[in-house]
Structure 1
Amino acid sequence: MNKNNSKRNIDNLNESQYKASLLLQMLLYCNVYISGTWVMWYGYYLFYNAEDFAKVQKLLTISGFIISVPAEGLRLYLGYSGNLSGKVSDLAGFWIISGLIQLPIHLYLSFTTEGPIILRVATYIILMFLICETPVGFIVSRKLSIYQAQLYHMKLLHSKTNANKNQ
């Protein structure tokens, strides 16, 4: 009887596979398009206005932009793959890049940008997406890790009951 219950629990856990977070997916989807346009606008702005900056501001702004562009691509990729395929490591990478790399860079860029209003609005929108995606990514990562731990424990219990039965 105990074997049948553990087998049913494993089957139920396998059948109720991880469900991707719709909120995180919608945020990532919108962020892909906003990020692409922001990169073009901000690159254009830096190309034509970098001479007007002070030396330190110029160095920090260009460095922040150069670090931010590939980090944003990697962050969005990890968010998509972690959310849709249920990989804890990808979601953890997404969360770490969001909170430790992108958020400080975009805070600096949003507070030092003095360009056209559309550029400032796009920078603030990117910052709002980051502020929303960071806690949502943490919550989704936590739920996924709990699900993976339960699945592991159920499989471990099932393998122990099979080993005891065979002895």
Structure 2
Amino acid sequence: MLLYFNMFYFPCWLFSSAFMLEAKYHYLPGYYQALLITGVVLVTVIEVIRLYLGYLGNLKERVPELAAFWLLSFTFQLPVLLFFVTDEGTLILPLERAVHSVYLLFLVSEILASFLALRTMTRKLTLLFHLRQFGKLETLRHPGMSPIYGIPYHRAVLPISSTHDMYH
């Protein structure tokens, strides 16, 4: 849900950041002008890629895409947003501080949620691997599975052979 709301908040953030950058552009030294323009452009490009990877990794439960989402969020977006919020040399406007703070809140929440999702997904994949190694996993598809979500009806999440079949 965080990705969903972030997808709608990001255009608002981009519009307000561009508007506030234009309003204070002439009062900034040249190096801050270059840093802010570069930061906004790169955050925009990375955000599109990051949201795509987040949706793909979350909805299709793909570990590499979700890991890439987490890495882009943690190593690039977080430092740039912290720069936007904390560096007083950029002449931070009150609206800008509020908009960046909300975006930073989204980002930190997404980093935590994606870390927990990655941990859960890797544990599940590890368990599936071990169950396949020892032959206790029949198949991922069997007649009792829901065709939409792949979750068995009235059973555990993993399709494990009954204990009667395992020991005979």
TM range (shorter): 0.7 to 0.9
Query: TM-score of the superposition, structure 1-length normalised?
Result: 0.73
Equivalent-residue separation in structure 1 for 2:3 and 2:49 (angstroms)? 12
**Distance in 1 (alpha carbons) for counterparts of 2:105 and 2:91:** 18
Q: Which moved more, 1:109-118 or 1:69-78?
A: 109-118
CA distance in 2, matches of 1:36, 1:110: 18
Q: Does the 8 A contact of 1:95 with 1:137 survive in 2? A: yes
**Cα distance between partner residues in 1 of 2:81 and 2:95:** 16
**Superposed counterparts of 1:152-163, under 5 Å:** 152-158=129-135
Contact 1:92–1:141 under 8 Å retained in 2: yes
Match of 1:94 among 69, 75, 94: 69
- Are 1:45 and 1:115, in contact at CA under 8 Å, matched by a contact in 2? no
Do residues 133 (structure 1) and 120 (structure 2) align?
Answer: no
Tell me if the contact between 2:85 and 2:92 (Cα under 8 Å) persists in the aligned partners: no
What do residues 72-127 of structure 1 show as CA deviations (whole Å, max 9, x unaligned)?
11111111111111000011011101100000000011224545533321111001
Q: 1:145 aligns with which of 102, 116, 122?
A: 122
Q: Is the 8 A contact 2:28 2:91 kept in 1?
A: no
Structure 1 residues without counterparts, runs of 5 or longer:
1-25, 160-167
Query: Is residue 114–residue 120 contact of structure 1 (8 Å, CA) maintained in 2?
Result: no
Q: Tell me, yes or no, if structure 1 residue 105 matches structure 2 residue 57.
A: no
| Other structure's SS at 1:158 match | coil
Instruction: Tell me the percent identity.
Output: 30
Q: For 1:62, which of 23, 28, 37 is the aligned residue?
A: 37
Where does residue 144 of structure 2 map in the other structure? none
More divergent stretch after superposition (108-117 vs 84-93) = 108-117
Shift of 1:151: 1.4
Q: Which has the higher contact order (CA 8 A, sep 6+)?
A: 1
SS in 2 for 1:70: helix
Which residue of structure 1 aligns with residue 17 of structure 2? 42
Q: Name the TM-score, length of structure 2 as normaliser.
A: 0.73
Contact 2:85–2:100 (Cα < 8 Å) also in 1: yes
Structure with higher helix content: 1
Give the conservation status (yes or no) of the 8 Å contact 1:28–1:79.
yes
Q: Could you report, residue by residue, the CA deviation over 1:30-88 in whole angstroms, capped at 9, with x for unpaired residues?
A: 11111110011111222343222111211211111111001111111111111111000
Provide the residue aligned with 1:122 in structure 2.
99
